[in-house]
């Protein structure tokens, strides 16, 4: 009988911990995010986390034949909470029981994983433990809704460089336990571009960023610099 000796994380636990919602992925054509999961590969003891990359949640052969076991978790769970759970002695003990209790045998042309009674019991206990993640979910906002439902561009980005505005917004979102669905930098640039094209006032930082990203031409930026009525004031009143 094969002796299984260890479990091993297939990802950087510190990187996982550092991200607000590391497993959140919503494709542009979809209303809901992809299903996230924890996976225990009973062939080699590898523990992994991820989300189903294909719409419809198609699974690889190893999962279909239960050689690797997947357990669904909320896509918007915080990275810190997920890392703490994965490192907990309770989770690791349950994962060990599952790993040790699943045998893989050939059945016709396929290799099938089958869990013994203790592994099945551990899986039920694990699913119960995973419910605790529901207490650590981030509120998900569309990037434009979060930025502009109650605010205008210059309240988020005025004279500072774009990268600093984005970093400040990222910190604010984390403090509010919010996950932003979309790219903050792109949303700010798009808003500045709209204002520029439609004759609204913008700041020098906005124009410099639009020029640097190829969204306006040098002649357009020069024309703006000569039209003081299109300039936001040096200081907000």
Contacts 24+ apart (CB under 8 A), 30-35: 30/55, 33/75, 33/76, 33/140, 34/75, 35/72, 35/75
CB neighbours (10 Å) of residue 233? 10
pLDDT on residue 124: 97
pLDDT on residue 107: 83
pLDDT on residue 106: 86
Q: Where are the domains of the chain?
A: 8-136, 139-230
pLDDT on residue 2: 60
CB neighbours (10 Å) of residue 137? 16
- Residue 142 contacts by C-beta under 8 Å, 6 or more apart in sequence? 181, 182
Measured N-to-C along each axis, helices 184-197 and 162-175 cross at an angle, to the nearest 10 degrees, of 130
Mean pLDDT by 10-residue block, N- to C-terminus, for the chain (237 residues)?
Answer: 72 93 93 96 95 87 94 97 97 96 88 95 98 96 97 96 97 94 97 96 97 97 93 72
């Amino acid at each position: 009988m094969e002796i299984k000796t260890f479990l091993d994380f297939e990802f950087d636990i510190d990187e996982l911990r550092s991200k607000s919602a590391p497993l959140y992925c919503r494709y542009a054509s979809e209303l809901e995010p992809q299903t996230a999961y924890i996976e225990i590969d009973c062939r080699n003891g590898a523990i992994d986390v991820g989300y189903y990359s294909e719409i419809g949640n198609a699974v690889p052969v190893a999962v279909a034949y239960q050689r690797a076991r997947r357990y669904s978790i909320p896509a918007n769970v915080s990275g810190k909470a997920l890392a703490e759970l994965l490192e907990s002695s309770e989770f690791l003990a349950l994962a060990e029981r599952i790993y040790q209790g699943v045998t893989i045998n050939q059945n016709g042309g396929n290799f099938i994983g089958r869990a013994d009674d203790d592994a099945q019991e551990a899986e039920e206990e694990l699913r119960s433990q995973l419910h605790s993640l529901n207490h650590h979910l981030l509120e998900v906002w569309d990037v434009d809704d979060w930025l502009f439902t109650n605010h205008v561009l210059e309240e988020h980005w005025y004279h500072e460089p774009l990268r600093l505005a984005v970093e400040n917004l990222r910190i604010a979102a984390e403090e509010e336990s919010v996950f932003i669905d979309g790219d903050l930098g792109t949303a700010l640039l798009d808003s500045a571009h709209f204002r520029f094209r439609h004759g609204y006032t913008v700041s020098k930082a906005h124009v410099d960023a639009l020029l640097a990203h190829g969204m306006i031409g040098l002649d357009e930026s020069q024309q703006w610099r000569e039209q003081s009525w299109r300039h936001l004031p040096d200081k907000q009143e």
